[in-house]
Amino acid sequence: MGKERTVEIKVFGQTYSVKTDAEEAHIHAVAKYVNDKIEEITKKTRTVSSLNVAILTALNIADDLLREKETRMAILREVGVKSKDLADKISAEIGRREAKKVSLVD
């Protein structure tokens, strides 16, 4: 993130000026992603209404986002379970080593 600037992008044949503090390359990548989704929708559907294309594109992008969030949450849960398992194993090993030290001293 840097200082705010205006970046011109083209989406669905229209030019937009976007005020952002994100990197210009990121904004262009976002515009490309949206344009790619628009192209995907226009190939799959017979609609010529730009409003319908925009709504269907928004729904597809929202679906992508929600699926990624679900994947992320599943990964975080798995990492949490594995971390707890590893911590338990470490604690058990430390306990065994301490018990062994005590029995050697006795």
pTM beyond cutoff 0.85: no
Q: Is the pLDDT of residue 5 over 70?
A: yes
Q: Is the pLDDT of residue 37 over 80?
A: yes
What pLDDT is recorded for position 14?
Answer: 95
Which CA distances in Å does 50 have to 36, 89, 96, 99?
15, 58, 68, 73
What pLDDT is recorded for position 104?
Answer: 67
Q: Is the pLDDT of residue 32 over 70?
A: yes
- Total count of domains within the chain: 1
**59 pLDDT band (50/70/90 cuts)?**
very high
> Residue 94, class by beta-carbon neighbours within 10 Å (0-12 exposed, 13-18 middle, 19+ buried)?
exposed
- Give the range of the structural domain holding residue 61, as residue numbers without chain letter: 5-105
Q: Which of 35-40's residues contact partners 24+ apart within 8 Å by CB, and which partners?
A: 35/10, 35/11, 37/61, 38/11, 38/12
